[in-house]
Amino acid sequence: MKYSVKKIFEIAYAHRLLNYNGKCENLHGHNAKIEVIIETEKLNDEDMVMDFVKLKEKVKKWLDENLDHTVILSKKDPLTNALKKYGQKLFITNQNPTAEIIAKIILEELKKMSINAKIVRFWETDTSMAEVKED
């Protein structure tokens, strides 16, 4: 038997995609929704997968400090230095900051926090979502 819980978070961010031929090559913003799904076969001492309050505290803190109201750019993006010069809040990625890559980064950060997330869904818009699953 497996148990799971899901918590949803929201952030506002800006990004642009390099080597892309379309509207997303321009700096633009989104109001994103992030779904974090945690699974386990054994409940904790409180008969929970994880306390929703603790999950919210940890994840929201990281999102607020790193991605919310932030410009997310690839380390190869020439805008990075200009925006730094003007004191803009940046989050730099090793790859293009697509929804897929942002979801992957969030999942990796959750693991560092010892949160056993199995799935992260990153909704860039109400109709466009990327999902990353742990094997």
Q: Tell me the pLDDT tens digit for each residue of 25-37.
A: 999 999 999 999 9
Task: Enumerate the β-bridge partners of residue 1.
Answer: none
Helix or strand or coil: residue 45? coil
Torsions phi, psi for 88 (to 5 deg): -75, 145
pTM, entire model: 0.95
Where do the H-state alpha helices sit in 17-132? 52-66, 79-85, 99-112
Q: Considering the chain, what percentage of its residues have pLDDT values greater than 70?
A: 100
* Residue 111: predicted pLDDT: 96
Domains and CATH numbers, the chain: 3-133 (3.30.479.10)
In tens, the pLDDT along 75-112 reads 999 999 999 999 999 999 999 999 999 999 999 999 99
Active site residue 109: no
In the residue annotation, 30 being an active-site residue is answered as: no
Out of 10, 65, 69, 108, pick the active-site residue. 69
List C-alpha distances in Å: 130 to 35, 45, 121, 126, 127: 10, 33, 6, 12, 10
Which residue of the set 24, 39, 100, 131 is catalytic?
Answer: 24
Helix (H, G, I), strand (E, B) or coil at 24: helix
